Amino acid sequence: MNATAADLLSDDAAALVIRALLDFRSLWTTHDLVTTTGVPAPTIRRVVEQLDREALVERPAPGVVAVPSWLVLLRRWNRATRFGREARLTYWRSKRAAGRLFDQVPGSDLRHAVSGTQAAQHWAPDTPTGPTVIYTPDAQAAATIWELVPATSRSIVLAETTQDIVYTRARKTDTGLRLAAPAQVLSDLLTGAATSTRVAEPLTRWMQDHELDWRY
């Protein structure tokens, strides 16, 4: 059975390609995308062809593609994927003061990437506070090391996933905390990591106004 357009843009390979197109201001060849993403060339061609059919990329020269609007592309990707779709979400609270959590996370060896409103506030301080969202491949190990206990509220959300895309091009703060890339954070806020999509508005504005600060 043939995959639908939505199916094609929702799989892991498409996510790697779309995130590369979002994260870099570049003119792309298939070879460049293969090198950057590790996705096989035939798969990249199928994804790019679908994006081309939807006018989400343009072709300024033979064999070359570019993204005319990163925000339009991101919103289209949001129609195909949602926060937590490929992750097991569990809810926790800290045994200690809430502020201590981000002191503990960088000191552990666990792979992590902070998303949600706490990550957004790093770039857009006027982002309203919401659930603390942290990607990690082992939620139980993380909860033990970070001194978390199960909770019914969404105060702290551990998103257990083995997907590399959420860790790709993470930003490291001065304290060693790793934040998911801005495009990943914005996508998460728009698709379920916040109580309202309006929470994403400050980060959206910052990304529009400071494109050279987050797109390589």
Residue 21 pLDDT more than 70?
A: yes
Residue 2 pLDDT more than 50?
A: no
Q: 72 CB contacts (<8 Å, ≥6 apart)? A: 56
Neighbours of 1 (CB within 10 A): 4
Task: Give the span between the Cα atoms of 151 and 187, in whole angstroms.
Answer: 25
Same domain, 108 and 177: yes
Domain end residue (candidates: 78, 108, 140) = 78
Task: Give the span between the Cα atoms of 176 and 154, in whole angstroms.
Answer: 25
Task: Taking residues 5-16, report their average pLDDT.
Answer: 84
Looking at per-residue confidence, does 86 or 180 come out higher? 180
Domain end residue (candidates: 55, 78, 101) = 78
Q: Which domain holds residue 19?
A: 5-78
Q: Look at residue 31 and tell me if it is in a domain.
A: yes
Same domain, 73 and 118: no
Based on the structure, what is the number of domains in the chain? Answer: 2
Residue 99 pLDDT more than 90?
A: no
Q: Look at residue 34 and tell me if it is in a domain.
A: yes
Question: Between β-strands 58-61 and 64-66, what pairing exists: parallel, antiparallel or unpaired?
Answer: antiparallel
Task: Taking residues 32-36, report their average pLDDT.
Answer: 98
Q: Look at residue 83 and tell me if it is in a domain.
A: no
Domain end residue (candidates: 54, 78, 102) = 78
Same domain, 113 and 204: yes
Task: Taking residues 13-19, report their average pLDDT.
Answer: 97
Q: Look at residue 62 and tell me if it is in a domain.
A: yes
Residue-wise DSSP of 183-213:
HHHHHHHHTTSSS-GGGGHHHHHHHHHTHHH
Partnered with residue 158 across adjacent β-strands are: 90, 134
Looking at per-residue confidence, does 163 or 97 come out higher? 163
Q: What is the CATH number of the domain that holds 45?
A: 1.10.10.10
Structure tokens, 84: 């937590």
Query: What pLDDT band is residue 3 in, cutting at 50, 70 and 90?
Result: very low
